[in-house]
Amino acid sequence: MIAILELGGGWLHSDVNAFFKQTRLMLPSITDVSVDGAQNAPGHDVDADSEVALDIQVAATAYSVATGKSAKIRMYWTNDMAKGIRAATADGCDVCSISWGSDEALWGVATAMDIEAAAVAATSAGMVVFAAAGDNDSSDGGPTPADVDVPSSCPHVIGCGGTTKTQRSETVWNNDPGNPSGEGTGGGFSTIFKPLPDWQIGAPNGPGRMVPDVSANADPNTGYKVVVRGKWQPIGGTSAVAPLYAGLFASFGTKLAL
């Protein structure tokens, strides 16, 4: 079972039906879960709705292509990411995809630590948590040229970075070379979660946990076509990578072995 956390926006049955009819893949089973009063609310914010559509359609596609079966997805609507992770853990979900996030400076230490604590409990219960690494290069859109994205920087979350992938090559996604706040994959070293964890020893040295852990196609120019409000549109970003890995890992059919 795939958990997807959403902090806004909404999805339409008609969009999901149109996507899976056109792609001839198995239509997913989707259940909305309100964690703290937040609800599936499409129609108010096109960017947020696009995010939600991307999450559902990519995760369910990855699962369907890998298994030939219909994905079971639970959409967790929340204003508090840690609460959302805990709710998905309590419901016994196998994987959790989070495409929302922002730089560490905006979250603050206490909130980041609460999200990490929720991820620790999720991992202990066998649920794998994936999170987007951000789409604004090394600054993650923050006030300094080097910052990373929470929740992807949490040590018990798998940070999902982005590439530019064509039929002939795959390279780091960076559409604005030299611009630390341009359009490209987030990544770098955490200033909250220090020192470098044992399992990253031997990697390029930095002050703390390194992000990302995995990567996949995220460049909008080589990205994903989804249906949003009845129209097909190309979307990219590391927001596509988290649900992609969530769908693939859910296809394994077993929980995380500790």
Q: What is the pLDDT of residues 51-86, one digit of tens each?
A: 999 999 999 999 999 999 999 999 999 999 999 999
- Please tell me the predicted confidence (pLDDT) of residue 49: 96
Cis omega (within 30 of 0) for bond into 151: yes
The question of whether 55 is a catalytic residue gets the answer yes
What pLDDT was estimated at residue 258? 55
- Determine whether 124 is an active site residue: no
Alpha-carbon distance of 237 to 216, in angstroms, equals 10
Contact yes or no for 96/85 (Cβ under 8 A): yes
Active-site residue, from 6, 15, 49, 55: 55
What integer pLDDT is reported at residue 219 of this predicted model? 94
CA dist 107 and 110 (Å) reads 8
- Residue type at 166 in one-letter notation: T
Catalytic hit among 153, 190, 215, 239: 239
What's the confidence (pLDDT) of residue 45? 93
Q: Could you tell me whether strands 210-211 and 214-217 are parallel, antiparallel, or unpaired per DSSP bridges?
A: unpaired
pLDDT score at 207: 83
Predicted pLDDT of residue 119: 98
Instruction: Please check whether the domain covering 2-250 is classified as CATH 3.40.50.200.
Output: yes
- In the residue annotation, 149 being an active-site residue is answered as no
User: Which parts of the chain register pLDDT below 70?
Assistant: 257-258
pLDDT for position 95: 97
pLDDT at 242: 98
**Given 6, 15, 49, 51, the catalytic residue:** 51
Work out the number of other CB atoms within 10 angstroms of the CB of residue 170: 14
